[in-house]
Chains A and B, each alone.
Chain A
């Protein structure tokens, strides 16, 4: 039983740069929390503060109800998986996993049992005697995970653990991490810049930008109801179309119902369709400039009315569209998002 609670956590570096500007988060026991955001948004710094590798400039971080601000990393009962795996290059896989237990004076036979158990779970048993340099990227990743799980810590911390792997392995490991976390039920905080990884792994998804939390919640809640323009543009691939619509409207764009004043209109490419389906509120006329076929679907890129803002439309299956073609796409009222252009916040 171990939850993590951050209360107005701040990080100010010497020199005055504020990397984290007051983040409050509650991560329930056993929850998989993913911090996602562009590089430099403070997500890694936040994770390192939980780990104890960075001092906390303001606010408190509590693990299992105990404030850990002044507690050494070793005493926090956490385990961390690093982006470059950070395996001890001069030690065998076995010793890598046993190191943390030995430092804590665990009895030898228990170390042996735990390391073998972890090796079995992560399928690295054949490599126990090898040095890390004799392993592939994926195997190193497993060893790094093994080193984390043998200790049975209260919290797992992951710092972009998959970003050094190739695309195929990344998806495979992503699924395995999720399964492992489900099986062990250990509270986890996972940092990534990959929104797809974030969406698929998270129980609680936290989108960060410029040192602050933009929105936190279930992944699909963020997808369906982004609270800010930033979240709207960050979650989903290809990204949501965001068009600034002045009070007087835009040529080529018909909106039946809309909030008063200038707004930013958000509509996902997958919610624009060519055939009108019942009561469509939005109709756009686009001149196609590029066609991207990815197999299961096709993305059409084009400018509104030929010279307006750029929009993306997803068409299922193969498309016969050609650049220069003029198309009309519609969307239902329930799929539209409106944001205040000044504050960037959602208008409901």
Chain B
């Protein structure tokens, strides 16, 4: 029998929920509502007059080629980060799942980057790869490769991908490790007796059994790359050079703050909001069902 606490009267439950509801309302629903409202407005450059324009901001946004370019940049950036952070984290987790010496220390070190703030991570990688002074840059140059993320868009992209990947590996690692440890040891042993080589064991047993974790992480990683990498990009490249690393979320910031186009920027953030809602819906709908065995 399930035991349930029954509250007589309605005041106490409401009081208990109130703090969380307030936080959600003030910090999530209110700004979201404001963004939607603002996306229908156009303000003059001095903020003196405001006009309600319905969907004009959106029409302008989707009429311009540069928004699609930013979408492409975001797509490239997020697939690279998701692919590398997932595969590297999986590799690390498989290693950590084996009985190795200093396993605890190994795991702790792997988890550290997650505690680093995005902007600091960006600065860290910026310093390491700064063309003239960076330690890594000097090594790369010494090897005869002309490395310059300040001028070359591909180099800049590589830099922010590395920084964003590095930061996300910890998170993925933790989930993969937990996922691996949830696979019964006897299933792996049965496969070993069934004559599967370690490689085959991984691809035919472990990887399919991890698929719910992998799918969950894929969605979480995409959300991460879409939004939380703002700090990294701002600190490392500021979307440059020549907007080569400008992602959707960074464009919201640069158009709104530097460009002064509040309505257009709000419209962009509403588009982002729709994307994240869609991703969350996919996750809720499928993570429990489709990807299970």
Contacts and interface: CB of A to CB of B under 8 A. Distances in A.
A299 to B, nearest CB: 35
A142 to B, nearest CB: 15
A271 interface: no
A123 B278 CA distance: 47
A90 B209 contact: yes
A222 B208 CA distance: 48
Interface in A76-91: 78-80, 82-84, 86-91
A73 interface: yes
B196 interface: yes
Contact of B186 (A74, A82, A90, A103): A82
Contacts of B204: 99
A313 to B, nearest CB: 42
Interface in A84-119: 84, 86-91, 99-100, 103-104
B193 A99 contact: no
Interface string B187-208: 1011111111100100011001
Contacts of A89: 187, 209, 293
A131 B293 contact: yes
A51 interface: yes
A99 B293 contact: no
B19 interface: no
B192 A73 contact: yes
A79 B209 contact: no
Nearest to B207: A90
Contacts of B187: 86-89
Contact of B194 (A83, A84, A90, A99): A99
A74 B205 contact: no
B184 interface: yes
Given A82-B189, A82-B190, A131-B293, A88 B195 contact: no
A53 interface: yes
A74 B293 contact: no
What DSSP secondary structure best describes chain B's contact surface?
helix
Please classify how large the interface on chain B is, using the bins under 10, 10 to 19, 20 to 34, 35 or more: 10 to 19
B208 to A, nearest CB: 5
Contacts of B194: 74, 99-100, 103, 147, 151
Contact of A86 (B190, B195, B200): B190
B193 A88 contact: no
Please classify how large the interface on chain A is, using the bins under 10, 10 to 19, 20 to 34, 35 or more: 20 to 34
A103 B195 contact: yes
Nearest to B190: A86
Contact of B196 (A52, A82, A87, A103): A103
B71 to A, nearest CB: 35
B292 to A, nearest CB: 9
Contacts of A82: 186, 189-190
Contacts of A88: 187, 190-191, 205
B190 A74 contact: no
B217 to A, nearest CB: 18
A209 B293 CA distance: 41
Contact of B293 (A73, A90, A100): A90
Contacts of A73: 189, 192-193
Nearest to B204: A99
A99 B194 CA distance: 7
Interface of A: 51-53, 72-74, 78-80, 82-84, 86-91, 99-100, 103-104, 131, 133, 147, 151
21 contacts: A51-B193, A52-B193, A74-B193, A78-B193, A80-B189, A84-B186, A86-B184, A86-B187, A86-B189, A87-B187, A88-B205, A89-B187, A89-B293, A90-B211, A91-B293, A99-B191, A99-B194, A100-B193, A103-B194, A103-B200, A147-B194
Given A86-B190, A87-B190, 14 more contacts: A51-B189, A53-B189, A53-B192, A73-B192, A84-B186, A86-B184, A86-B186, A87-B187, A88-B190, A89-B187, A89-B209, A89-B293, A90-B293, A99-B194
